[in-house]
Structure 1
């Protein structure tokens, strides 16, 4: 089982970040964190790295519902989305697969929640049409 859902695009890097940010909003998500990996690695260890962002997305309604089922579910939040510029010029947008992530939690009540979350996140990738 893969632990992520991926879409390869021909968008520019900035356009890909903008499009996925807008796409997740259509499903009730917002960005809680935005980590610029390239800038962080340059600042911390002085290495050059490709354009790479990690966006931490959260749907407050679904998060609240999950907290009602499993108090420690916050360990698995937010849902990470990566936007990565590849050497071939394509930009990959990948989203954590919540069903894979939640399989490590031994609480069957979370499975419907994980499936709904996955469905919403997969739909976000369909909103990225060129």
Structure 2
């Protein structure tokens, strides 16, 4: 079965990993659209959990190109990268952009998805 996500362990603290993802994304030409503090939101609603943030990143050029191919791909944009703690360890996780091809095989985005995936994986590896 084809992988649809990648998760790596970070040697950084949770907050350091979040900052590193935001920093490396910007260095690679991706804008951080928003960082969701999922743990804070859930805790406010009475559902305490370990730290979890989702950093939404986007590169306008790539987003525009894939949306020109098939506007329904907007369902999978922007690229989310989650950073979370589990049992005191920090992890970074994302859906692989090439997995989008399986959802929209007729869109012809294989090359674009591969290009974006290389950059997103680079961001994660530099940030971990």
Q: TM-score, normalised by structure 1?
A: 0.89
Matches for 1:1-130 after TM superposition, within 5 Å:
1-44=2-45, 46-87=46-87, 89-128=88-127
CA distance in 1, matches of 2:63, 2:107: 16
RMSD of aligned residue pairs (Cα, Å): 1.4
What secondary structure sits across from 1:2 in the alignment? coil
Aligned counterparts of 1:53 and 1:94: Cα–Cα separation in 2: 11
Q: Which runs of 5+ in 1 are unaligned?
A: none
- How far apart are residue 126 of structure 1 and its match? 2.6
Q: Deviations over 1:65-95 (max 9, x none)?
A: 11221122211101110000110x2210112
Report SS of the residue matched to 1:107.
helix
Could you give the per-residue CA deviations for residues 78-125 of structure 1, whole angstroms, max 9, x where no partner exists? 1110000110x2210112101113311132511111111111111112
Structure 2 residue runs of 5 or longer lacking an equivalent are none
